[in-house]
Amino acid sequence: TRVLGIETSCDETAAAVVEDGRRVLASVIATQADLHRKYGGVVPEVASRQHLENIVPTLREALAQAGVDLGGIDLVAATAGPGLVGTLLVGVSAAKAIAFALGVPLVGVNHLQGHIYANFLRPDPPEFPLVCLVVSGGHTDLVYMAGHGEMELLGRTRDDAAGEAFDKVARLLGLPYPGGPHLERLARDGDPGAVPMPRPWLEGSYDFSFSGLKTAVLYMVRDEPERHRREDIAAAFQAAVVEVLATKAVRAARERGVRTLLLAGGVAANQALRQAVEERAAPLGIRVLYPPPALCTDNAAMIAAAGYHVWRHGGRVDGLDLAVDPNLGILEG
Ligand code: ATP
Ligand code: MG
Ligand code: FE
């Protein structure tokens, strides 16, 4: 089964062709990061207009790279939420038109489930039951999965998402948007022990809270700008986020008795996080999986993979009345 995936939830116009939910034939991403950089974040109206310009060339390129023409597509999957309403509509409308013209099924995909399914784009897909830590720009969710479509929410952030915290702290340190990868690079030259940083444990729960770390950094750079090196602040902030995320994710995997722990979302590209999770999981015999960096951040291959499983195992097909939902939760859809 060849799935055409379409992703337009934020500032990446992406199209991909994926076979049987696991083999990536093509994955094309037109990013608008340069366009939004001067505003320090994504401007929804600007993003929608850019998606309209990018969507057809991006789809053409994905098909060309895959060496497949539209007639070789068996299923169309597009992100239906969460995300920006105007940008989601561009991708979903394109998907409807293509599915209708080809007479093939259409599936609306939950973007956050898409991030999880980036982990299935490999020859030896993860085995259930599993625990997955989804750490993206807008979400931080810890979920248990008994099987495809059988999800339980264990915990989530009560304020900022992990990626959002990285981006806000990066901005305070004068780094360009999106700041996560820049902050990770800066942190490599820093000493995490040189700067005091709180650990928001929220004892006894699987929930997270990262806004206090951002405030701690704000006070440091505002009130005592000469006191600490930027590298050390970056390293201390990253160490705090990573320690809390890794500890809770591995504790959840242990307490739920699973042998597989997945990392997903843009922050899963962070080397320090990957390493911290692996170090804690290895002695417990828990296998840790994460996608390659290009499949951690937004892409359409993950949407095609999730769409394939929704259709194959969930038996769901959407009609041309498929609606977008900017606020879709990770368990919905
Ligand atoms: P959501 O998926 O919640 O709608 P999003 O799609 O904007 O949000 P993603 O594309 O999954 O988020 O991830 C982008 C986020 O990941 C940004 O906040 C970015 O800074 C962060 N990120 C990317 N690489 C790294 C890294 N190496 N270290 C830390 N953060 C990173
Ligand atoms: Mg993005
Ligand atoms: Fe995302």
Residues 93-121 have pLDDT tens digits of 999 999 999 999 999 999 999 999 999 99
> Confidence class of residue 216 from pLDDT cuts 50, 70 and 90?
very high
Binding site membership of 181 for ligand 1 (Cβ less than 6 Å): yes
Rg of the chain over Cα atoms, rounded to whole angstroms, equals 20
Q: Region 228-233: what's the mean pLDDT?
A: 98
Residue 41 has pLDDT above 90, yes or no: no
**If you measure from the C-alpha of residue 135 to the centroid of ligand 1, how many angstroms do you get, rounded to a whole number?**
7
> Confidence class of residue 169 from pLDDT cuts 50, 70 and 90?
very high
The answer to whether 143 and 156 have CB atoms below 8 angstroms apart is no
Binding site membership of 111 for ligand 1 (Cβ less than 6 Å): yes
Residue 232 has pLDDT above 90, yes or no: yes
**If you measure from the C-alpha of residue 103 to the centroid of ligand 1, how many angstroms do you get, rounded to a whole number?**
35
Q: How many percent of the chain have pLDDT more than 70?
A: 100
For the chain, report the end-to-end CA distance as a whole number of angstroms: 21
Residues less than 5 Å from ion ligand 3, measured at CB: 136, 298
- pLDDT score recorded for residue 38: 87
Tally of CB atoms within 10 A around 159 = 15
Binding site membership of 270 for ligand 1 (Cβ less than 6 Å): yes
Binding site membership of 178 for ligand 1 (Cβ less than 6 Å): yes
- Whether the bond between 129 and the residue before it is cis, its omega within 30 degrees of 0, is yes
∠ CA(307), CA(312), CA(318), 5° rounding? 55
How far apart, in whole angstroms, are the C-alpha atoms of residue 324 and residue 219? 39
Residue 219 has pLDDT above 90, yes or no: yes
Binding site membership of 267 for ligand 1 (Cβ less than 6 Å): yes
Counting runs of H as helices and runs of E as strands, what totals does the chain give?
A: 11, 10
> Confidence class of residue 333 from pLDDT cuts 50, 70 and 90?
confident
Q: Whose CA is nearest to atom 13 of ligand 1?
A: 266
Q: Region 224-246: what's the mean pLDDT?
A: 97
Q: List, for residues 61-95, the tens digit of each pLDDT value.
A: 999 999 999 999 999 999 999 999 999 999 999 99
Q: List, for residues 245-254, the tens digit of each pLDDT value.
A: 999 999 999 9
Ligand-binding annotation for 299, yes or no, is no
Binding site membership of 167 for ligand 1 (Cβ less than 6 Å): yes
**If you measure from the C-alpha of residue 215 to the centroid of ligand 2, how many angstroms do you get, rounded to a whole number?**
24
Q: List, for residues 268-293, the tens digit of each pLDDT value.
A: 999 999 999 999 999 999 999 999 99
Ligand-binding annotation for 9, yes or no, is no
Residues less than 5 Å from ion ligand 2, measured at CB: 10-11, 298
Q: Is the ipTM of this complex over 0.95?
A: yes
Binding site membership of 47 for ligand 1 (Cβ less than 6 Å): no
